[in-house]
Structure 1
Amino acid sequence: MKKSILAQSVALACLAAAAGGAQAVSFTQNDVTVDINGTINGFYVNRESKVTNLSTGVQTKTQNSELTNGLLPGWINFVVTSKAGDQDIKAHFSFAPGINNNSTVVGLPIGNNASGAGVTNPYSQIDTRNVYFQFGNNEWGSLKFGRDIGLFGQNIILSDMTLLGVGGTSNAGIPYNTTFGMIGHGYMYTGFQAQITYSTPNYNGLQASAGIFQPSKFAGDETKAPGFQAKVDYDWKGAMPGKVWGGLVSQNTSCSNASTTACAGMKPYNATGYEAGAKAGYNNFEAVAYGFTGKGLGLSTIGAQFLGGSDGNGNKTDSKGYFLQGTYKMDKTKFGINYGQNKDTGGGTQSVYGAPETKNKAYTLGVYHGLNKFVTLVGEFNNEKITNTATETKNNTISAGAILFF
């Protein structure tokens, strides 16, 4: 029971992908088991960027570098499992600190400028990603209450090889505690969200989950109903093991008082998104294919759900994207290539990008070498192209570093 429950956590999903031999530290007292596991990483990133003004032809070139976390921040997980009657019980706390801060002078307190005035530092804050408990059994399924990874977009980010690395980031010179991987270049970010979700038992590889989620006030100050997400997975084993899945997200919102500042000129609307994906392996090769579409869901080229989903007048942003990936494992080294593209039209694209349409596309070449059961060495090259009617941006990102799982 303990092993199957732990496999559901995001940290151990990453662990399985990166260094399957590493094990959590476990303590058992009476009928309660506490597992502690985590990850730490660091990368050197060098990025060259060229922006072309399409109307004048003027080009601007920049180059920057950064020592940073990759797509994963640091992460420490505390997972408690037990059994009460016929119910399997699980509680999960996690904290995700990063290695960067915004201090420009070595030796000064984090978040303070040279004169000593306190400044809020968003880069050194600890992100509490998992705070939930769940109970259930193999007969009727399980219920989850709290904050955990979302359902829509969950499978694809866990399948992205750059989860162990950096991928493409338009902010290599900014000390975020995560990069973007291929978020915004083939899929949108699932996020960690407050939720109440139900998951069915696993019926020979077939399993479904659905739940209500903390709504986003993307068009006003009120939400009459929570958000809704669902997904269905089917896994199979054998000579060509694989997985297929489908998912959806939906939310509407409204204003309680049209005279309030938050509601002035804002028209409510319903945001929706749909996704489908598949992955399969044969011997040491694995392939992934994925696609999604959204209406009012947000600017997929940024990757954040509900950001820029409308122009404020109820006109929704149309979004779509696809992602392809192939990896080959040779002994302890995995080689991979992926390609993804997102496109946004109408809605909020004009106000954010100054153009009615924008498109992101990128590919990543990656090498991931298992030095031992804890440490994976990573090297990646990412090529990104961002286009709209006003500008064309081309970025080349080289990253090298390592990630540890325990």
Structure 2
Amino acid sequence: MHKSLLSPLSMALLAGLASPGAQAVSFTHEGVTLDINGTVNGFYVNREEKTTDRRTGASTTKTNSALSNGLLPGWINFVATTQIDEQEIKAHFSFAPGINNNSQVVGLPIGNNANGAGNINPYSQIDTRNVYFQFGNAQWGTLKFGRDIGLFGQNVILSDMTLLGVGGTSNAGIPYNTTFGMIGHGYMYTGFQPQITYSTPKLGGWQAAAGIFQPSNFAGDQTRTPGFQAKVDYDWGGQLPGKVWTGLVSQSTQCTQTPCATQSFTATGFELGGKVKMGNFETLAYAFNGKGLGLSTVGAQFFGGSNNAGNKTDSRGYFLQGTYQWGKTKVGLNFGENRDKDGFALTGAGSSNEIRNRAYTFGVYHALNKMVTLVGEVNQERVSNILDSNKDSRSRTLSIGGILFF
């Protein structure tokens, strides 16, 4: 079998975090190699949430169980690679189904309500994440066309240990096919986005990438220009191997009328991160800042980036993590916090102009063999001033399950 050539969030990197030695199934015909690889996971999740009204002090506590996917859905990848006229060419399709559904009646199809009317929930269906092709070589770099993981926020989610588990915001697993891990608690989600990007060749550990991205119509009534993202990485080896990176995102919207119903503006974000490995111990530190980029406490870019007057939401956060590899078992602890201030509109009387998310996860990840990793996690979350509700919440999530890579 051939070693597969995969996208950053594909299974080779994930397998490296969990169970070394996972290989794709490969076929070669007339110089074209097709790699097939994937992952499947499932977890039992027990979540206890206490919500407190900021005005009255009254509180309620709910405890729910779920059988759910983790931060990753299921994933199947088809990657074709070849070399023509000194150009390395690659095409990648991936599909991400999950085990979650919103049917409340055992035996009925996903999304089908009790009366059989077919109330389909799109988040319970198959998610097409990667559809792109790229070409290039080690001398001048690579051009990519299609849909793939974004540049801004890419490195931090790939380094989040809960990528193999559940992490926080576990109530998102139903009807979505993923939880949020530590998204919204230390960083924002990069997403899989239509793009045209250029990546430079590696030069002494340095590598840069930049591209134009499908714009989001988050304000105004038109987007004359695409979004822009870029990142720069520096990797080094030796006795203390590591990596540092920086990234940025920017997008503008425009108005065709005066006054505009929703005032247009430019959204921007900046990030800085790094990680170092000392023997079996690895540490990571990351921080970001966004202006109009969206509600980082929700985790999604370009959602809730301003109010109707055009006042931008000021977002910032940081993420810390330490892991220790002991034989086939990795133990880790991470902590993150996101804050959103101003810009967004809170409708409840007495609401603060700041939302604050904090969470930590303690996890144990045991490689049972080269394909299967068993996972157990404890996550604690605290949200101050839940959007539009005048409420605070504290959540505790216990999860246990496993993930398979092939």
Count of residues in correspondence between the two structures: 401
Alignment of 1:188-207 (within 5 A): 188-207=188-207
> What is the DSSP-based 3-state SS (H/G/I as helix, E as strand, rest coil) of the residue aligned with 1:171?
helix
Return the letter of the residue paired with 2:139.
E
> What is the DSSP-based 3-state SS (H/G/I as helix, E as strand, rest coil) of the residue aligned with 2:158?
helix
Q: Residue 191 of structure 1: CA displacement? A: 0.1
TM-score of the aligned structures, taking structure 2 as reference length: 0.95
Return the alpha-carbon distance in structure 2 between the equivalents of residues 9 and 32 of structure 1: 22
Return the letter of the residue paired with 2:86.
D
Structure 1: gaps of 5 or more residues: none
Q: What is the identity percentage for the equivalent residue pairs of Structure 1 and Structure 2? A: 67
Return the letter of the residue paired with 1:33.
T
Please list the CA deviations of residues 309-330 of structure 1 after superposition, one character each: whole Å capped at 9, or x if unmatched.
0002110000000000000010
Name the stretch that deviates more: 143-152 or 161-170: 161-170
Return the alpha-carbon distance in structure 1 between the equivalents of residues 48 and 276 of structure 2: 35
Return the letter of the residue paired with 1:100.
N
Return the alpha-carbon distance in structure 2 between the equivalents of residues 124 and 135 of structure 1: 33
Alignment partner, residue 61 of structure 2: 61
Alignment partner, residue 102 of structure 2: 102
Q: Residue 11 of structure 1: CA displacement? A: 2.7
> Residues 349 and 355 of structure 1 are in contact (CA less than 8 Å); yes or no, is this contact kept in structure 2?
no
Return the alpha-carbon distance in structure 2 between the equivalents of residues 101 and 225 of structure 1: 38
Return the alpha-carbon distance in structure 1 between the equivalents of residues 15 and 318 of structure 2: 26
Return the letter of the residue paired with 1:174.
I
Q: Over aligned residues, Cα RMSD in angstroms? A: 1.7
Q: Residue 6 of structure 1: CA displacement? A: 2.9
Return the alpha-carbon distance in structure 2 between the equivalents of residues 112 and 92 of structure 1: 32
Return the alpha-carbon distance in structure 2 between the equivalents of residues 9 and 356 of structure 1: 35
> Residues 226 and 251 of structure 1 are in contact (CA less than 8 Å); yes or no, is this contact kept in structure 2?
yes
Please list the CA deviations of residues 343-369 of structure 1 after superposition, one character each: whole Å capped at 9, or x if unmatched.
000011525995311100000000000
Alignment partner, residue 396 of structure 1: 396
Alignment partner, residue 367 of structure 2: 370
Query: Structure 1 residues 245 and 349, CA, compared in 2 at 3 Å: closer, same or farther?
Result: farther
Return the alpha-carbon distance in structure 1 between the equivalents of residues 32 and 236 of structure 2: 32
Counterpart among 351, 356, 365 of residue 353 in structure 2: 356
Return the alpha-carbon distance in structure 1 between the equivalents of residues 209 and 84 of structure 2: 23
Q: Residue 100 of structure 1: CA displacement? A: 1.2
Alignment partner, residue 378 of structure 2: 381
> What is the DSSP-based 3-state SS (H/G/I as helix, E as strand, rest coil) of the residue aligned with 2:272?
strand
Alignment of 1:173-188 (within 5 A): 174-188=174-188
Counterpart among 302, 318, 332 of residue 298 in structure 2: 302
Alignment partner, residue 318 of structure 1: 314
1:162 and 2:162 correspond = yes
Please list the CA deviations of residues 215-243 of structure 1 after superposition, one character each: whole Å capped at 9, or x if unmatched.
00000331010000000000011111100
1:293 and 2:289 correspond = yes
> Residues 4 and 23 of structure 2 are in contact (CA less than 8 Å); yes or no, is this contact kept in structure 1?
no
Return the alpha-carbon distance in structure 2 between the equivalents of residues 229 and 43 of structure 1: 34
> Residues 47 and 172 of structure 1 are in contact (CA less than 8 Å); yes or no, is this contact kept in structure 2?
no
Counterpart among 269, 276, 280 of residue 265 in structure 2: 269
> Residues 222 and 253 of structure 1 are in contact (CA less than 8 Å); yes or no, is this contact kept in structure 2?
yes
> What is the DSSP-based 3-state SS (H/G/I as helix, E as strand, rest coil) of the residue aligned with 1:157?
helix
> What is the DSSP-based 3-state SS (H/G/I as helix, E as strand, rest coil) of the residue aligned with 2:155?
helix
Structure 2: gaps of 5 or more residues: none
Alignment partner, residue 252 of structure 1: 252
Query: Structure 1 residues 181 and 8, CA, compared in 2 at 3 Å: closer, same or farther?
Result: closer
